[in-house]
Amino acid sequence: MSDEPRDGTDRSPTTASTFRLGRLLYGGILAMMAVDGLQNADERAAYAEAKGVPMPEVSNKAAHGLLLFGGAGVALWKLPRLAALAVASFFVGVTPMMHDFWAADEDEKQQEQINFLKNAALLGTALALFGVASRE
């Protein structure tokens, strides 16, 4: 399946089938993560409190609301710059607080580092999507 149009016309990368599939997967999974975070708000807030997050109940709901907006916006490609910035903001705010591998004990250090790096990659994707949306 090629993303190149057969009629020789120029097509925006955001209409290419691989881009659509990629943003549906990326945004949809982020939205699912957000819904899970909101459904398990008490448990997530307790973990955030243990990590020293200020106002953990409010912070958790606000962060997951931001992720839900961003994930849905990316998946549907509605307000894509704002959606990508919402996702990026989530990862910039959450990652260093929740996955501080440098401060973790030896039993948790590797898992925290894996989660930190995963989030950094997801942040990079959000920034790339912001760049694509900004060119439209």
Convert the pLDDT of each residue in 100-127 to its tens digit: 999 999 999 999 999 999 999 999 999 9
Give the mean model confidence (pLDDT) for residues 12-20: 81
pLDDT at 12 over 90: no
Give the mean model confidence (pLDDT) for residues 49-56: 93
Q: Look at residue 5 in the predicted model and tell me its pLDDT.
A: 52
48: CB partners within 8 A, 6+ apart: 56, 59, 60, 97, 98
Q: Look at residue 1 in the predicted model and tell me its pLDDT.
A: 45
Convert the pLDDT of each residue in 56-115 to its tens digit: 999 999 999 999 999 999 999 999 999 999 999 999 999 999 999 999 999 999 999 999
| Long-range contacts of the stretch 83-90 (C-beta < 8 A, 24+) | 83/27, 84/126, 84/127, 84/129, 84/130, 84/133, 85/126, 85/130, 87/30, 87/122, 87/123, 87/126, 87/129, 88/123, 88/126, 88/127, 88/130, 90/63, 90/66
Give the mean model confidence (pLDDT) for residues 34-59: 95
pLDDT at 35 over 60: yes
Q: Look at residue 136 in the predicted model and tell me its pLDDT.
A: 81
